[in-house]
Amino acid sequence: MDKRALINDSIDYILAHLAEPLTIADVAKQLSYSKYYFCRTFKEVTGESVYSFIKRMKIEQSAIDLKLKKDKQISEIGLDYGYSASNYSSVFKELYDQSPVNFRKTIKANKVPNPFNPQKQETLSSYEAYQQKIEIRELNDLLVVFERKLGSYVNLKQEWSSFIAENAYYDETSVMIEKYYNDPSLAVFDNSICDLCFTVDEVFASENTKVIEAGKCAVFPFQGTIEEIFSAAQGLFTIWLPQSEYQMKENYGLNIYRRIDWEAGYVQMDICIPIK
């Protein structure tokens, strides 16, 4: 297994077990590597220690829970990720420069700051407006070639361009998909995780391939500029999902592109949330 594949597998395992008392030794054992080699390789590939990554992802996921589970007590959410009430507040403040209490107050508004344009406040629509467009569908599993990107969502346009240009298996029948694991409004800006994917009909030994198990999803059809995707997604996660009868089933979302004009910056896509 090459180093990047090893780290991809470790990240997948960590993200799937955030609500457990996860240790570095647990992850290394799962991957059948020594703890020393795993820690050294993780830092080499990601620029971040395993400990810092696990800690950060737990707090980022707890922030998502604060947004989605508005009736759940803050102390309970902290406990879900292994923190006592006082310790949770301290660790949360280290990452976000505010307490969980103050953070929860800020997400009650229908305006959110745009991390890609700090001067801009996005105004979100009403629950009813999103509900009118949302469709609940069973999506088929998707076999894809993928490349994992660790960094800023701002660079995805350039990343897509090079990913497609360098891959011989991409053709006009391929569907482009983003599998994203962070809320851009909450993620530490240069440490987001996003898998750039396109559909294929068969597994290629020379490529990173995997199956995305989509299943039951809330599907929001979007058309507009690339800059407007953030506002649409925030409305779904901040306004629609917490008031709906559904919960997120997985710790990721999917952007499935139906049409894209890179020059004009215009897209037609489905924003999909796996739900239960």
CATH number at residue 78: 1.10.10.60
Task: Note whether 184 and 262 are same-domain residues.
Answer: yes
Same domain for 33 and 100: yes
Instruction: Looking at the structure, tell me whether residues 227 and 98 fall in a common domain.
Output: no
- Examine the fold and report which residue of 66, 88, 106 is the final residue of a domain before the chain moves on: 106
Is the four-CA dihedral 70, 253, 251, 99 of positive or negative sign? Answer: negative
Looking at the fold, whether 43 and 94 belong to one and the same domain comes out as: yes
Residues 208, 170, single domain; the answer is yes
Does 124 reside within a domain? no
Residues 96 and 171 grouped into a single domain: no
Q: Can you give the residue range of the structural domain that contains 222?
A: 133-274
User: Are 55 and 144 part of one and the same domain?
Assistant: no
Do residues 44 and 76 make contact, with C-beta atoms less than 8 angstroms apart? no
Could you please report the per-residue DSSP string of 79-141? HHTT--HHHHHHHHHHHHSS-HHHHHHHTTSSEEEETTEEEEEEEP--HHHHHHH-EEEEEPP
Same-domain pairing of 102 and 212: no
Q: What are the average pLDDT values for consecutive 10-residue runs of the chain, which has 276 residues?
A: 88 93 93 94 94 94 92 94 91 93 83 80 92 97 94 86 91 94 77 93 85 94 93 92 93 94 93 96
Positive or negative torsion for Cα 266, 122, 130, 182: positive
Residue 62 φ/ψ region, left for φ over 0, alpha for ψ in the -120 to 50 degree band, beta for the rest: alpha
On whether residue 114 sits in a domain, the answer given is no
DSSP calls for 31-52: HTS-HHHHHHHHHHHHSS-HHH
Domain count, the chain: 2
Task: Output the pLDDT for position 1.
Answer: 61
